Each structure stands twice: as C-alpha cells, then as structure tokens.
Amino acid sequence: MKIQDVKVFVASPGRNFVTLKIITEEGLYGLGDATVNGRELAVAAYLKDHVAPCLIGKDAHNIEDIWQYLYRGVYWRKGPINMAAIGAVDMALWDLKGKAAGLPVYQLLGGRSRKGVTLYAHAQGATIEETLGAAQVWIDKGFKAVRLQCAIPGLEGTYGVKTKEQKDYFAMQSKRYLPPEEPWSTAKYLNFIPDLFKAARERFGDSVELLHDVHHRLTPIEAARLGKALEPYHLFFLEDAVAAENQESCAVIRQHTTTPLAIGEIYNTIWDCKGMIENQSIDYIRVAATHAGGISGVRRIADYAGLFHVRTAFHGPPDISPIGHAAHMHLGLWVPNFGIQEFVRFGTEVSDRVFSYPMRVEDGMALLEDKPGLGVDFNEDEADLHPYKRSYLPVSRLEDGTLWNW
C-alpha cells in the first residue's frame, strides 16, 4: 500500500481546520486532523514542506515505523506543531488500514468494549439561572453529564461563556483579527463558583454528573480551596485547575481535596503526563489524538494511565475537526479505562457540507456506524468555498493589566 500523494487543506467552515489526505497507489485515501487553534498555518506548512516529501513511497501499512520516523527521526522531539503533524499522519494511516481491511478503526484497536461513548455536554450562561436552564436542555435530551460554566459577576467575558457577539466565532475577533482580551480576577471567581454548583445540586439532585473547567487560572493552593469548596457537590471532575506545565502541581491539590482532577488538553506526548499519572495525582487524562500524536500516541498514554487508575476524557472542543472527534470515538469504544468524552457538537450546518461523519447521539451517548476506517469523508470542493481566516484565542489579563493564563 505505497503512499503516492499527500495533500494538506486549510479551510474555515465556521472554524479553521487543517486536514491531511494521504493517497495510496491503489487509489485509497486516509484523512487526518492537524488543527492547532490559532496557529493553523504553521502546522500546514510543517506538513507540506517537511513531512509530505518523506512519506511518498512509504508503505502506509507501517503505522508504527512512520510514527517513529517522524518522532525520533526529526531529532526535535515533541512540540505542538510537530505532534499535531504526526497526529494527522497517524490518523490518516489508521483510516487507510481500516479501509484496506474493510473494518472500522476500533476493530483494529481490539474491538468494542462498550455499546457507545458516554458524552458530557457544555452548559453556559450569563447567570446561574441561565446556566442551569442550558443544562436542563441537555438533561432533557438524555445527557447524563454536563459541564457548567457561568459568567463571573463583575468580570467582562468569562472562559466558556459566550456573549451575544461571540456566538459567531469570527465576530469575537477584533477588526484586525488580533487576540481579544478578557479580564480575570481569581477572588471574584473563587467567591462565586461554589454558589453555581450548590444551585445545580439543589435543582438537579444527584441525577446528573457535573463538571467544570477552570481553564488554567489558579495556583495549586487556590485550586485546592476550590476543590474543597466543591466537595459537597461531588463533581465528576474539575478540569485544568492549574496551568499544566508543572506536573507536581496536581499533587499539591490532591493533598487537600477529594474532588477528582482532569488535565491534559495541551499535552503533546506521554512525557508531558507521565509523572502525574504515576503519582496518581490525577483521575482523568484529557489528551487529544489531534494534538498528542494521533491514535498511536493517545493509545500509548491511555494504556499507561490505566495502570494507575487514570481514565480517559479526550479533549473534544469545536476546534478539533470531525476527523479528530471520530478518532476519539473509535478510541473510546475500545479503551478499557474509558472515563467520559467531551462533546460540544460534531459539526454545524456549514461544516457538515465539508465533513461527513459516522456518528449519532442517543441519550447522551455517541453511537458509531460501522464504516471502514474512521468513517469520515471530506469534500474538497466544498472546503475550497471556505478559505482560511486568521483567528486567535483570547488572552487574559488581571485587573491591573498583568498578563494571565487564558
């Protein structure tokens, strides 16, 4: 199954997505997602200029050898751009192997461990009432787990809560398409969030799992205070309570609270999370196939995590393409230590014209059609109608102007 051609597409059907297509001499093709939000063109150039020439003529069946070639073989290991490029190649090769075998990827991984992939939805609002109303909508649809994010009183713009103009992603960018800025106050946040979860338990009782994303804003001891304050409301997990670089930080939080901890959406390799997995200072690992070396990279991390009671919660934001989401669904059907899967949506009306995907949601669970490979298709002509638009994630500043973690 020799690789004949490699194509890279950057399209913006609502969000920017980087898509890799690997074509074999037999005329089969595999698809991969290489989207790095806000830095899309860097990974596209890396794929086109540095990776594609090395792939031509290689046997697409040799997934592991190609992974090692692109990881060990480049000398410069790790890094978000390199690992997203490897991730896309790896996904495309698994897709191809599945198509060649006539089997869905989860069958190649070891088969089905469960009937579907349990999802958590996002609920957000300008007030507690509005947030709980948004959660109710998901609960009424049959979802068993919901992430709650609420605007913090006195702060203009809070992570996870869209103002009216932010509903169109590109409208939230300034006119010159530079990063929008949001203010942050740890004190205002810490004084408010326990009220949100108190109100949620009063309204929903124990009938639903509740989650929350701190989005890297706290120090370990502040996160410990929050974890303790939230214990009566028994969260499914508290996500990214601290900035993720220092693997010892979660161990500090752990000494003080039994609130389960999740982290890892910005990690690229097993080395980024090895220490906190071994120390059992986290409960859920949130790596994404798109950003952590594809299905092969994430499978290695998930297997290792399983030895230490750490379960999976792969990152599922709208800036991962339907190809990346499909990779998570196949992994989630197979992985023995499955925890939960983040679900915002698989696509929009516009992106559905570019990507078709083999998933449907029933009672808060994603069910996969048994198509060979990953099961996603990509319409190149439609993609051409939606050219790349420069966009950035916001940045945060403390109220005195100091740059903070967004």
Q: Which residues bind ligand CS2 (CB under 6 A)?
A: 37, 213, 215, 265, 315, 317, 319, 342, 393
CB of 395 to ligand CS2, least distance (A): 12
Find which of Mg ion, ligand CS2, none residue 393 binds, CB within 5 to 8 Å per kind: ligand CS2
DSSP string, 190-229: HHHHHHHHHHHHHHHTTSSEEEEE-TT-B-HHHHHHHHHH
Smaller CB separation from ligand CS2, 213 or 272? 213
Smaller CB separation from ligand CS2, 93 or 119? 119
Smaller CB separation from Mg ion, 113 or 405? 405
Q: What is the DSSP letter of 169?
A: G
CB of 215 to ligand CS2, least distance (A): 6
CB of 271 to Mg ion, least distance (A): 21
> 361-365 long-range CB contacts below 8 Å, 24 or more apart?
361/119, 362/116, 362/142, 363/142, 363/143, 363/144, 364/118, 364/119, 364/121, 364/138, 364/141, 364/142, 364/143, 364/144, 364/145, 365/115, 365/116, 365/117, 365/118, 365/119
**Residue at 390: amino acid letter:** R
Find which of ligand CS2, Mg ion, none residue 37 binds, CB within 5 to 8 Å per kind: ligand CS2
Find which of Mg ion, ligand CS2, none residue 311 binds, CB within 5 to 8 Å per kind: none
Smaller CB separation from ligand CS2, 7 or 397? 397
Find which of Mg ion, ligand CS2, none residue 342 binds, CB within 5 to 8 Å per kind: ligand CS2
Interaxial angle between packed helices 322-334 and 80-101, expressed in degrees from 0 to 180 and rounded to the nearest 10: 70
The residue nearest Mg ion at its CB is 213
List of residues contacting Mg ion (CB under 5 A): 213
**Token pair recorded at residue 188:** 């205002």
- Give catalytic residues, as residue numbers: 159, 215
Find which of ligand CS2, Mg ion, none residue 99 binds, CB within 5 to 8 Å per kind: none
CB of 99 to ligand CS2, least distance (A): 29
DSSP string, 228-279: HHHGGG--SEEE--B-SS-TTHHHHHHTT--S-EEE-TT--SHHHHHHHHHT
Smaller CB separation from ligand CS2, 33 or 342? 342
Q: How many Cα atoms within 13 Å fall on the side-chain side of residue 149?
A: 17
Smaller CB separation from ligand CS2, 275 or 317? 317
DSSP string, 377-404: EE-HHHHHTSB-------EEEETTS-EE
CB of 197 to ligand CS2, least distance (A): 17
**Token pair recorded at residue 5:** 């051609």
Find which of Mg ion, ligand CS2, none residue 405 binds, CB within 5 to 8 Å per kind: none
Round to whole Å and give the CA distance between 275 and 334: 25
Round to whole Å and give the CA distance between 169 and 167: 6
CB of 311 to Mg ion, least distance (A): 16
**Token pair recorded at residue 359:** 């998933």
